[in-house]
Amino acid sequence: MSVAAQSSDSQISTLQSTLKSTIQSVGPCVMVIFGATGDLTKRKLIPALYNLAQQNLLPDQFSIVGIGRTAMPTEDFKHKILSALKEFATGDVKDTLLSWLAPRLHYLSGDFQSPDTYQQLKEMLSHIDQEQGTQGNYLHYLATSPTFFEKITQQLGHAGIAQESEETNNDQWRRVIFEKPFGQDLASAQKLNKAIGQVIKEQQIYRIDHYLGKETVQNILIFRFGNGLFEPVWNHRYIDHVQITVAEQVGVEARGGYYDASGALRDMIQNHLFQLLAMVAIEPPVSFAADAVRDEKSKVLRAIEPLSPEDVLRNVVRGQYGAGQNSSRRSDNSSENSSNQQPLVAYREEPKVDPQSQTETFVAMKLNIDNWRWAGVPFYLRTGKHLPERVSEIAIQFKQVPSLLFRDTSMDELVPNFLVIRLQPNEGISLQFGAKVPGPKVQMGSVDMNFCYADYFNATPTTGYETLLYDCMIGDATLFQRSDNVELGWEVVTPILDVWQAMPAREFPNYAAGSWGPKAAEELLARDGRQWRASSPVFCSPSA
Ligand code: BG6
């Protein structure tokens, strides 16, 4: 993970060129994508590889092998991939780069369970090594249903193309990226960790959480530990509570089959929101080395107070959307007409969803981190589908000042300080504080100091997968989850899954699509004398 930032244009460009000249280059390798005909490949992986190539971060000795169950000649695969790239690239697509990419694309059709597929893959890889000089370095990306993770790893092992020892010499590397979800609960995650651990070593395993590829998420560590200003107040003495919201405007779309067996707790909380919580709450690591950061993350997850069944009933709210209307306000860059309200169907009527489904599409919860830094500071988390807007942000509310000076001021006017880290869209950081409203009377108003990424950095749009793929190719696992990180996440949510399984949600559906979730989510904070922070209508101007 490499980051640097200052304010003026000249400082930024000096830093950027320094970084470019010191950036580690990726060595020769082949990236093998299992599930190459799926959405992830065309929407994210190929555009991300294209962006890396554009920044000269991929070596000439590079190839991609797509594996899918659909039978098709390599030429058809190339055609599909390159035309999808024109649709999903994050910027202009240059013909020169397409000509660079095309001869590096290969396709193999086959059954993921059959040993034949892996023998053919082995032959293909050895041929590419000879032709392309890729030197036997392989990155296997499992962009398949998780049901195949164990089988694919075992078969890669049997074919001898996953291990780094014996058949290979010491300079060769083999790595495997596992997409989420990694397990369905603690027991299945442990079982999967054990099974893949019998084939490859932990250093070769890259469990991906695409939230860690977001610049704004990586910036949390720089913001906290690269500035002397914030760290002294980043604790229970000054912070009242933390709110983490990942709200989605979309529903389950075409993913009903997957989602109905998963739900918001497994799909978002156990991974993405826990990663955000860990970034906000960790102690300073001794370095940005993978294990130093991941050790600290594990400590935070371990310090989360275990939830008893009573805690689950009291502090965890589940919701499922019923029919409703999409919202009138969009906070992303979409050009969609905001006044054009559309009816939205109930979750239970979505394609491939059980009409009696008990799956939650919304979760709000309160967690306590029982350590010296955070004792007594609640962390409120919420996420949901079909909420009024797409917004992901972390809001840190600081403690109120003593009211002595302001006895004659109504307490409503005494605004608490909020530090808001906006992850998406219109990325930035905002500090909210009180200021005197001009005039003879002492009156207080709330004002914002905003930093918008778009104003400071000329960053071109990315898919969010660039850093993750690049890091994996250079062997930096800082932004990937270690086995204990994943299992600790499951340990926190497993009691919730148990209670929910024992007690079906009779009130489902309990929020209208296009609303901010069930009433109980408001009550969760209201009981503590708090409320969810309304996201700023215009945090950073989308056009900035
Ligand atoms: C995925 C979930 O991991 O993250 C999806 O499976 C969710 O359900 C998505 O929509 C959200 O990602 P982002 O980057 O759009 O916030």
H/E stretch holding 79: helix 74-88
Asked if residue 267 has its Cβ within 6 Å of ligand 1, the reply is: yes
CA-nearest of 15, 380, 419, 367 to 231 is 419
Q: 3-state secondary structure string, 127-172?
A: HHHHHHCCCCCEEEEECCCHHHHHHHHHHHHHCCCCCCCCCCCCCC
- Calculate the CA 46 to chain-centre distance: 18
Tokens of 512: 């209208």
Distance 385 CA to ligand 1 centre (A): 10
Asked if residue 491 has its Cβ within 6 Å of ligand 1, the reply is: no
For the beta carbon of residue 309, count every other beta carbon within 10 angstroms. 13
Mean confidence (pLDDT) of the chain: 90
Tokens of 387: 């909420």
CA-nearest of 234, 223, 212 to 5 is 223
H/E stretch holding 108: strand 105-109
For the beta carbon of residue 225, count every other beta carbon within 10 angstroms. 16
Say yes or no to pLDDT of 4 above 80: no
Angle between helices 46-54 and 74-88 (to 10 degrees): 70
User: What is the pLDDT, as a whole number, of residue 533?
Assistant: 92
Q: What is the pTM of this model?
A: 0.91
Say yes or no to pLDDT of 532 above 50: yes
Evaluate whether 139 touches 29 at the Cβ level (below 8 Å): yes
Could you tell me which residues come within 8 angstroms of residue 534 by beta carbon, excluding any fewer than 6 positions away?
none
Higher pLDDT, 407 or 256: 256
What average pLDDT does this structure show over 55-78? 96
Report the distance separating Cα 172 and Cα 174, nearest Å: 7
User: What is the pLDDT, as a whole number, of residue 443?
Assistant: 80
**Residue 37 exposure: Cα atoms within 13 Å on the Cβ side:** 14
- Known active-site residue 127: no
Per-residue pLDDT tens over the stretch 186-196:
999 999 999 99
Per-residue pLDDT tens over the stretch 449-478:
999 988 888 778 899 999 999 999 999 999
Q: Which ligand 1 atom is at minimum distance from the Cα of 464?
A: 14
For the beta carbon of residue 3, count every other beta carbon within 10 angstroms. 14
**φ, ψ at 396 (rounded to 5°):** -110, 115
User: What is the pLDDT, as a whole number, of residue 5?
Assistant: 41
Say yes or no to pLDDT of 161 above 80: yes
CA-nearest of 432, 425, 433 to 454 is 425
Higher pLDDT, 18 or 479: 479
Q: What is the largest CA-CA distance in the chain?
A: 84
Say yes or no to pLDDT of 339 above 90: no
Q: Which ligand 1 atom is at minimum distance from the Cα of 262?
A: 6
Asked if residue 248 has its Cβ within 6 Å of ligand 1, the reply is: yes
Indicate if the alpha-carbon torsion angle 497, 500, 501, 502 is positive or negative.
Answer: positive
Distance 125 CA to ligand 1 centre (A): 32
User: What is the pLDDT, as a whole number, of residue 18?
Assistant: 47
Asked if residue 296 has its Cβ within 6 Å of ligand 1, the reply is: no
Which residue's CA is minimally distant from atom 9 of ligand 1? 268
Q: 3-state secondary structure string, 425-469?
A: CCCEEEEEEEEECCCCCCCEEEEEEEEEHHHHCCCCCCCCCHHHH
